[in-house]
Structure 1
């Protein structure tokens, strides 16, 4: 009986403490920070890193194998289209041209000789025809003369073909000689010089470049966008570009090209899409190709949305279901509200459904926010949206 009485007293004490706790909580409202929901477009950003490069690049290559005897430009020089860049050794090519000219001259002599032979045989045939008419020549002699003329005409035709062949060979030799003088294909800046005087220029290799010309009037930032973010990137979006050498100087840019396929990048677990950003105000600072850059691609929504600070959002998990909620303050009393999220920027979360502009939501402190329940009484200190 005494034990039963003791148990009853303990239970009563626990209930009493619980009631006192509730009474204390309701009598002393929690002080929370609040925010009045605003409605406006939201600006989300996609962050990426990359490097600067100049505009169109032209790889200057040799089309013949020869040693460099003159470099007419240095790295960093600005050149005009048609300007001399490199002169190669011409000796072997000049000899080849000379030999082919000799072959052409010989072929022309052979043609002339064949033509003279045909003319001579035709004169002889006319004489034999007259003698035959007078009965002083045999028919076999006439037939033999006609065969000789036909053979001479075949030889003449062959010599003409050999002349054309020699002329083609001379033309090719002259082109090879001309290729020993390498000129600028376009206006540009010499951004890289990969050969020295005395070195051998080799033809036929797509990866063997003598120098690189670039268009210095345009500069790009080539950045790698994570595959999870590429859906938020479209052509023409504005971009804030920061070169590592000038982190305090914001440069304006525009997305000008998006790769159609992803690629692997060393050091990253996910795939990335290369994106090209043209820097539109590159004259603010001295930019050089190869500089590392940080880019912020700006995607501003066309519609206005109710916005709340990110810290006001509470995630709720039940099994495999995930939902989000905020605590709304009305007359000093809080109530939970399930919301549907939209895009977000560095500060605000857009709300698609569940809340409207003008309502007041709790933003913190976190230690209080995580313990709030419907019906709790609070006092609020409103945060500014500045």
Structure 2
């Protein structure tokens, strides 16, 4: 092959390679996305709610008498039995009151005895005056005076007995207050909190006052979920329905639950809260080894009906509300108008295409698709930031797999293959030409 032929081959190779190189150099890089196929799955109608974990049985102990704490016999975490003494208040003042009331009772008893003796004496005088009056030895008025004195004595006796009852009642109250200086456990369980210390003053129950709360006891083996269900959904909830409970601390480890109680009255709104009504729903949890503690937050998915096969997509694939930008909608359209609608990006020939879809029921992972896409369509599911920024017509390719290979979408695969073939052919031609030249 002469030099002219070699030069001709080189020119032809340059004509093929340079445009291809320029095209690939100047083309916009493809956006890597995650894809999912519209498929039919069993989806059950459910509602979502949030709340926290509470003990089924929990008692907040308060003092019934005022006194300084002299002994605290338990600490947080101690297991206790019903009737066990938990703390003692200083009984000095109340014991003095008991002593005083006992003295008053004894005095009242003496007064009764004195009044009884007076009644007996006046009765004798009245009887004697009656006999003398009948025998005409004294005037009838003397007899009447004796009867009057007897009646006065009886009234005094009755008053003494009433005073005795009052003194006895006061003594009983003092004894009860003395007994209440020992605070005992009303239930068996575990001490979950001790809010008072030795030397502090316990006061009779009064919400919010320092010293009104002594300690908390609970049956820690009976934790349940307590969630707030919106008024629009509470009619769908019934006792016995199954649920999945997702503790915030173990969000990837749901716990099975069953609805045990649905409140009849709405929960009172806090000052400044929205006007929407919520209802408390309590759920019994299945056995779990998770370290769930009271006060932890949780979210709950309550299954409200039977399941059936429906075309679905992962929830994250559907843009709704503020995230969706419909081509034929104005910027001022309200969220209410968009309810039940959404936007997805399908993939065709490596190009993202925006489509409006109508959505139905959802569970915790999937959303039913009523219209807009069909079974088998490929739809962009993420990453979330990429999906929110994606535009109709963007060039995309499926995100790299764990092996590092990129899955081209649509015609991108054939284009990539053609480019590789062209590059290989050109390289072979160049090598041959160089070999011939040498």
1:69 matched to 2:70? The reply is: yes
Structure 2 counterpart of 1:343? 361
The number of residue pairs the alignment matches comes to 333
1:212 matched to 2:230? The reply is: no
Q: Which structure 2 residues correspond to residues 197-346 of structure 1 after superposition, within 5 A?
A: 197-207=198-208, 208-223=212-227, 236-244=241-249, 246-247=250-251, 249-257=253-261, 260-261=266-267, 263=269, 273=278, 278=283, 280-281=285-286, 283-290=288-295, 292-299=296-303, 301-309=305-313, 311=317, 317=328, 340-345=358-363
Name the SS of the counterpart of 1:142 in structure 2. Answer: helix
Q: CA deviation at 1:211?
A: 0.4
Q: Does the CA-based 8 Å contact 2:47-2:301 persist in structure 1?
A: yes
By relative contact order (CA 8 Å, sep 6+), the higher-ranking structure is 1
Deviates more, 1:279-288 or 1:115-124: 279-288
C-alpha RMSD of matched pairs (Å): 4.3
Q: Structure 1 residues 99, 328: CA separation in 2 closer, same or farther (over 3 Å shift)?
A: closer
Name the SS of the counterpart of 2:187 in structure 1. Answer: coil
Structure 2 counterpart of 1:3? none
Q: Structure 1 residues 316, 270: CA separation in 2 closer, same or farther (over 3 Å shift)?
A: farther
Give me the whole-angstrom Cα distance separating, in 2, the residues matched to 1:346 and 1:125.
96
Structure 1 counterpart of 2:144? 143
- Higher fraction of strand: 1
Give me the whole-angstrom Cα distance separating, in 2, the residues matched to 1:105 and 1:205.
36
Deviates more, 1:228-237 or 1:69-78: 228-237
Task: Tell me the TM-score normalized by structure 2.
Answer: 0.62
Q: CA deviation at 1:86?
A: 1.1
Give me the whole-angstrom Cα distance separating, in 2, the residues matched to 1:154 and 1:300.
75
Q: CA deviation at 1:79?
A: 0.9
Q: Structure 1 residues 137, 214: CA separation in 2 closer, same or farther (over 3 Å shift)?
A: same
Structure 2 counterpart of 1:162? 163
Name the SS of the counterpart of 2:256 in structure 1. Answer: strand
Name the SS of the counterpart of 2:64 in structure 1. Answer: coil
Unmatched runs of 5 consecutive residues or more in structure 1: 1-32, 330-335, 373-377, 382-386
Give me the whole-angstrom Cα distance separating, in 1, the residues matched to 2:174 and 2:36.
85
Q: Does the CA-based 8 Å contact 2:344-2:380 persist in structure 1?
A: no
Give me the whole-angstrom Cα distance separating, in 2, the residues matched to 1:98 and 1:137.
51
Q: Does the CA-based 8 Å contact 2:112-2:161 persist in structure 1?
A: yes
Task: Tell me the TM-score normalized by structure 1.
Answer: 0.69
Q: Structure 1 residues 36, 99: CA separation in 2 closer, same or farther (over 3 Å shift)?
A: closer
Q: Does the CA-based 8 Å contact 1:63-1:202 persist in structure 2?
A: yes
Give me the whole-angstrom Cα distance separating, in 1, the residues matched to 2:49 and 2:149.
88
Q: Does the CA-based 8 Å contact 1:241-1:253 persist in structure 2?
A: no
Structure 2 counterpart of 1:85? 86
